[in-house]
Structure 1
Amino acid sequence: MTDPVLATHNLQKSFGALKATNDVSIDLYPGEIHAVIGPNGAGKSTLIAQICGGLKPDAGRIELLGQDVTQANTATRAKAGIGRTFQISALAMEDTVLQNVMLGAVGADGSPWRFLRPVLRDKALRSKAADALKRVGLQDSAARRTSDLSHGQRRQLEVAVALTLKPKAFVMDEPMAGLGAEGSKTLTGFLDGLRDEAPILLVEHDMDAVFALADRISVLVYGQIIETGTVDHIRSSAAVREAYLGGDA
């Protein structure tokens, strides 16, 4: 059997008496989209922060390509191959699209921000950034100010930043947030093709997008995974309907 690209093993994280992550084990295999769903306050953001290095677990471990990265910081994990996109955009709105890819790529690599501006003259990095923009379909927008992009285009731009680091796995935190129906449809099609670049761990509230994209779904409730399975399995699960999906399943 193929080994997972990304895996957590029995992760635990508490804030006082609150168990935000309670013995969470989850894995991501090559070519798949594994969605994590759950109600507000379920612990999804805490789980993502632990996987990406912003928060250290109290117990358990995180592996990328079989290597333990539990103690590695965010920049080290990015260089190792975890490509993250954020629920709230971290882009510099006054910079151009191309500048965001160049500066974001170097910043994610752990370089101090004060040294980034001279990097804009780096021809090799400019070429790499231009290639990433082409792969996400934004090559014609390279000179545009980022604030002029649509919300969906900004999501694609975040992916372009991640692509410059040649990610082994994407971790996406609610990429559909703030998009209308048409924007969600467009981004769903884009993400469907992106799994060929690297598998995607997708945290998302848009259930239409989740059901259209996911190969597997894990349901997180009060810090615990209560069910993992295919779309059909999750749709038919009485426990999931009671805890989260309700009559919309």
Structure 2
Amino acid sequence: MTDALLDLQGLSKSFGALRATDNVSLTLRSGEIHALIGPNGAGKSTLIQQVAGALAPDAGRILFEGRDVTGLSTAQRAQAGLGRTFQISALAMENSVLQNVMLGAVGASRSVWRFVRPVMRDAGLRVEAEAALHRVGLEDVAAMRVAELSHGQRRLLEVAVALTLKPRAFLMDEPMAGLGSEGSARMTAFLDGLRAEAPILLVEHDMDAVFALADRISVLVSGRVIATGTPAQIRRNAEVQTAYLGEEVAP
């Protein structure tokens, strides 16, 4: 793992006097999970929104596979291969599980004409969506309304939707949020295997999951990266222990 697939260079974003991200630089390499951790309000989700295209940075640039994507829209970045799951669910609650994933596949197709066709009759999209649901273990609830799913099932559904984009890299914002121990274990196992398909920039508060999954960890405090290293290096880092809830990262 030597070449950066995703390269964030000096990203900064302010909201009035608040410096949400402050000259943030980090990389995501092929085949790895790079976890971004830090206290609430550190700027983690703001950073992910900049990478995904939902927020424009005030300074810095974003390279994806060597291409400057800083000026691209969220849709253009998704089409380029950046797949995202959200901290707050963006699913269509009244639609079925299968419909949600098929609509994700439509968005990935780049073909405007598909929107005027009866989506549910498109056999190719259906096969693609069903395959994604099978991968995350939701094939048995394909006909259910999303509103009827458990919180953990919705998190898995978001991953299934992202899979239809055939991403070259994943941006995941707290995929373990609200999951119980069984759900977290299942998601951890799934993400562990997913890194071979596409690397993951992972924002997560579940420290057990972070240290089980991450190849590298960056610690964000008050908008700045104070440390980047392997899990073992982060555990031993005195600045991390002092600045970010030392008991959470203690051996």
Please tell me the TM-score bracket, short chain as reference.
over 0.9
- Bigger mean CA deviation after superposition, 179-188 or 24-33: 179-188
Counterpart residue number, 2:46: 46
Q: 1:146 deviation in Å? A: 2.0
Write out aligned runs for 1:1-12 (5 A): 2-12=2-12
- Bigger mean CA deviation after superposition, 128-137 or 204-213: 128-137
The answer to whether the aligner puts 1:57 opposite 2:57 as a matched pair is yes
Counterpart residue number, 1:194: 194
Write out aligned runs for 1:40-119 (5 A): 40-107=40-107, 115=115, 118-119=118-119
Instruction: Give yes or no for contact 1:32–1:195 (8 Å, CA) kept in 2.
Output: yes
TM-score normalised over the length of structure 2: 0.93
Counterpart residue number, 1:13: 13
CA RMSD of superposed structures (Å): 1.9
* SS of equivalent residue, structure 2 residue 244: helix
The answer to whether the aligner puts 1:157 opposite 2:157 as a matched pair is yes
Counterpart residue number, 2:172: 172
TM-score normalised over the length of structure 1: 0.93
**Alpha-carbon separation, structure 1, partners of 2:4 and 2:234:** 21
Counterpart residue number, 1:235: 235
The answer to whether the aligner puts 1:121 opposite 2:121 as a matched pair is yes
Residue type at the aligned position of 1:52: A
**Alpha-carbon separation, structure 1, partners of 2:27 and 2:42:** 18
Instruction: Give yes or no for contact 1:76–1:109 (8 Å, CA) kept in 2.
Output: no
Q: 1:110 deviation in Å? A: 7.3
* SS of equivalent residue, structure 1 residue 124: helix
* Gapped regions of structure 1 (runs ≥ 5): none
Q: 1:118 deviation in Å? A: 2.5
Residue type at the aligned position of 1:205: H
**Alpha-carbon separation, structure 1, partners of 2:193 and 2:177:** 20
Write out aligned runs for 1:206-245 (5 A): 206-245=206-245
4+ residue stretches of structure 1 with deviation over 3 A?
107-112
Q: Could you say if the C-alpha distance between residues 116 and 219 of structure 1 is closer, same or farther in structure 2, counting changes exceeding 3 Å?
A: farther
Q: Deviations over 1:135-187 (max 9, x none)?
A: 22222322222223222222121111111111000000011111112211121
Instruction: Give yes or no for contact 1:75–1:110 (8 Å, CA) kept in 2.
Output: no
**Alpha-carbon separation, structure 2, partners of 1:176 and 1:183:** 8
* Gapped regions of structure 2 (runs ≥ 5): none
**Alpha-carbon separation, structure 1, partners of 2:2 and 2:122:** 39
Among all aligned residue pairs of Structure 1 and Structure 2, give the percentage whose two residues are the same amino acid: 70
Instruction: Give yes or no for contact 2:104–2:164 (8 Å, CA) kept in 1.
Output: no
* SS of equivalent residue, structure 1 residue 197: coil
**Alpha-carbon separation, structure 2, partners of 1:88 and 1:108:** 21
**Alpha-carbon separation, structure 1, partners of 2:107 and 2:21:** 29
Aligned residues: 248
**Alpha-carbon separation, structure 2, partners of 1:89 and 1:111:** 25
Instruction: Give yes or no for contact 2:108–2:164 (8 Å, CA) kept in 1.
Output: no
